[in-house]
């Protein structure tokens, strides 16, 4: 099972990644994580990437592809992987295709977890964080209580900046702009699986598994 994972902010992409990863026993590879990892390990590519980031520039595609190649060649990817965070442009998608071709991999699928934007805004807007312990609750979970169920702090709930409507709308817009061309690219190849992410976590997962088993 070789998957590319796409999901707008707020659709529970991380949760689905975790479930799929344990279900199929394949690693969830976030490109942000592996980039940090190679920088920490100071591999050749890690050193190069660090130099570039220290100059305040973005890590170029060829270095990112190199880092992904090293990661996908590790033993735990033999049965598959979930790649998260790449590609973000059509050019990157073409480069990734080349790499996968080199590796004799042709059965890639792109999972696109989507949701209605107004629904995402509503969902995130309905969350409150506790400023004492950091736990996040839905309004439904705390009802009209002013006491945190996790740490018993009083009057500690607040709406995080990340959960405010204008911030969410901006992030969704950036996401849409970044991913539109990539989705189109994979749709042309018939490799996109789209699932609505706003259901109950288990239901979304069931739906995903059903489609993947086809
Ligand atoms: Zn708390």
Cα 149 to ligand 1 centre (Å): 7
Sign of CA dihedral 174, 179, 30, 201: positive
Helices in 55-164 by DSSP H: which ranges?
Answer: 61-72, 90-102, 117-125, 139-142
What confidence tier does 138 reach under pLDDT thresholds 50, 70, 90?
very high
Q: Is 175's pLDDT higher than 90? A: no
Dump pLDDT digits (tens) for 68-104.
999 999 999 999 999 999 998 999 999 999 999 999 9
Cα 140 to ligand 1 centre (Å): 16
Residue positions annotated with a catalytic role: 13, 88, 127, 160, 171
Q: What is the pTM of this model?
A: 0.84
Sign of CA dihedral 111, 166, 202, 195: negative
Q: Give yes or no for a contact between 192 and 112, defined as CB atoms under 8 angstroms apart.
A: yes
Dump pLDDT digits (tens) for 191-201.
999 999 988 88
CA-to-CA dists, residue 170 to 99, 104, 166, 177, angstroms:
33, 39, 6, 11
Largest CA distance in the chain: 58
β-sheet bridge partners, residue 111: 5, 193
d(CA 58, CA 52): 7
Cα 144 to ligand 1 centre (Å): 15
Q: Is 12's pLDDT higher than 90? A: no
The residue to which tokens 């994979």 are assigned: 186
Cα 101 to ligand 1 centre (Å): 50
Cα 157 to ligand 1 centre (Å): 8
Cβ-in-10-Å burial (0-12, 13-18, 19+) of 10 comes to: buried
């Amino acid at each position: 099972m070789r998957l590319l994972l796409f999901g707008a902010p707020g659709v529970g992409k991380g949760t689905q990644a975790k479930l799929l990863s344990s279900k199929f026993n394949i690693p969830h590879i976030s490109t942000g994580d592996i980039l940090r990892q190679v920088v920490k390990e100071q591999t050749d590519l890690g050193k190069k990437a660090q130099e570039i980031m220290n100059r305040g520039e973005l890590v170029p595609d060829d270095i990112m592809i190199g880092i992904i190649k090293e990661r996908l060649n590790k033993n735990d990817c033999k049965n598959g992987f979930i790649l998260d965070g790449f590609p973000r442009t059509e050019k990157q998608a073409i480069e990734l295709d080349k790499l996968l071709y080199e590796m004799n991999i042709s059965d890639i699928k792109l999972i696109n977890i989507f949701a209605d934007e107004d629904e995402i805004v509503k969902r995130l807007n309905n969350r409150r964080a506790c400023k004492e312990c950091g736990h996040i609750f839905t309004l439904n979970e705390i009802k009209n209580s002013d006491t945190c169920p996790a740490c018993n702090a009083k009057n500690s709930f607040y709406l995080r900046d990340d959960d405010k409507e204008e911030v969410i709308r901006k992030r969704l817009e950036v996401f849409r702009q970044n991913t539109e061309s990539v989705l189109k690219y994979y749709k042309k190849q018939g490799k996109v699986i789209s699932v609505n992410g706003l259901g109950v976590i288990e239901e979304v997962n069931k739906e995903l598994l059903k489609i993947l088993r086809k």
